Amino acid sequence: MFLFLASDHFGYPLKKVIADHIQEKGIDFTDLGVNSEEEVVDYPDVALQACLGIREGKFQYGILICGTGVGMALAANKVPGIYAACAHDIYSAERAKKSNNSNVLTLGRQVVGPELAKMLVDAWLGSDFSGGRSLPKVQKIREIERRFFREG
């Protein structure tokens, strides 16, 4: 699995928790920063740079963390081929991958505590796209993306 982990300065403390957690589980990942709360960056810049790594084939999946997870999801989803899902509960994290084939999970430090964040990451990383009845829906999402990025 080619996984990245990245955050803005608001998300850094939770990113550190997640990095330690997935490292303890023996999961390989690349930490794309930031490396402190003092390293002030704007979440759209972080999301763009990290998600370009998926477009370039460097990564298959990614986890982005900011204050709420919402801003990172919005910015990440502007990159063609990125399907970012913001999750605050275990069921949504699991279904983001199983039903929606998301390749990026976004989390919010200000709305998700450390223990829940670990469970969200485990649920998301432990899920695979199930296809089935979800496949036509995911294909429709991709068609919307193709239509508007072609025109845009």
Q: What is the pLDDT of residue 149?
A: 82
Q: For residue 12, count CB atoms less than 10 angstroms from its CB and return exposed for 0-12, middle for 13-18, buried for 19 or more.
A: buried
Q: For residue 146, count CB atoms less than 10 angstroms from its CB and return exposed for 0-12, middle for 13-18, buried for 19 or more.
A: exposed
Instruction: Please state the domain extents for the chain.
Output: 3-151
The share of the chain scoring above pLDDT 90, in percent, equals: 96
**Mean pLDDT, to the nearest integer, of 13-30?**
98
User: Residues 87-95: contacts with CB within 8 Å, 24+ apart?
Assistant: 87/120, 87/124, 88/112, 88/116, 88/120, 89/120, 90/119, 90/120, 90/123, 93/119, 93/120, 93/121, 93/123, 93/124, 93/127, 94/123, 94/124, 94/126, 94/127, 95/127
- pLDDT of residue 144 exceeding 90: yes
Q: Beta partners for 6?
A: 64
Q: What is the pLDDT of residue 151?
A: 54
Q: What is the pLDDT of residue 7?
A: 98
Q: Identify the CATH class of 3-151.
A: alpha beta
pLDDT for 53-72, tens place per residue?
Answer: 999 999 999 999 999 999 99
Q: 46 near 6, Cβ under 8 Å? A: yes
**What pTM does this model have?**
0.96
Which positions are annotated as active-site residues? Answer: 66
Spatial separation of the C-alpha atoms in residues 93 and 105, rounded to whole Å: 8
Tokens 């972080």 belong to residue:
46
Q: What is the pLDDT of residue 121?
A: 98
Q: What is the pLDDT of residue 152?
A: 46
